[in-house]
Every structure is written in structure tokens, then in C-alpha cells.
Amino acid sequence: SQQGEEDPQALSIQEGENATMNCSYKTSINNLQWYRQNSGRGLVHLILIRSNEREKHSGRLRVTLDTSKKSSSLLITASRAADTASYFCATLGGGGKLIFGQGTELSVKP
């Protein structure tokens, strides 16, 4: 079952530009997490935002959460070629399970 849906499915930008990815979900959440996956590799946890938070920063990452709209966005500022990857949002289901969206494929061109 898909909880998070990412938008856009693919995004191509130039190095130095900002990249924004959006995630919508269906049910109430405790927290929402963002993961990154380099091509052909496992996922790596980037950042978590709790349901009582509206914005969170980590380095060049900024995550916002709007629980009234059931949506979150991930902003990567001053993107680099090394940011090229797929990005997934995930929400917590029952029993400690995470429910992942289908991901946004980001391509940053040098």
C-alpha cells in the first residue's frame, strides 16, 4: 500500500540550482522521513520531521510539513552533481513499518 506519493517523478536541474520535491500522504502521521538512494544502492536516511514540527533544516536540506494538507516538501539548496539520486518520503505505519512513496529521481547536471 502506498502512503506517500512524490511529485515530480523526475527532476532535472543545473548545478547550483535548488531542487524541490513534494510528498503527499493519506493518513495521520507521527513523523515523516526522507531517504536518498544512489543508483543501484540501498537507501540512506536523510532527515526526519515530527508531526508537531513545521520546518527542519540539515545542512543544505530543508524539509517542511503541512499536516493540514497532508504534504511535505524537501528542498535541496545549491545542488551539486553528487546530489543526483532518487529521493523517497516515508511515513510510519503500524508495527514500526515504514511506508515509502515511489520516489523522485533527481538529476543534477554539471
Binding site for other proteins (CB under 8 A): 1-2, 30-31, 33, 40-45, 48, 50, 88, 90, 92, 95-98, 100-103
Minimum separation from the CB atom of position 41 to other proteins (A): 6
Residue 45 or 57: the one with the smaller Cβ distance to other proteins is 45
Q: Specify the residue, 18 or 97, whose C-beta has the smaller distance to other proteins.
A: 97
Which of residues 16 and 93 has its CB atom nearest to other proteins in the complex? 93
For residue 73, give Cα distances in angstroms to 11, 34, 93, 101, 110: 14, 9, 20, 13, 24
At closest approach, how far in Å is the CB of 15 from other proteins? 26
DSSP string, 50-110: ETT-SEEEETTEEEEEETTTTEEEEEE-S--GGG-EEEEEEEE-GGG-EEE---EEEEEE-
Task: Tell me whether residue 77 or residue 98 sits nearer to other proteins (CB atom).
Answer: 98
Host H or E run for residue 12: strand 10-14
Neighbouring-strand partners of residue 24: 5, 71
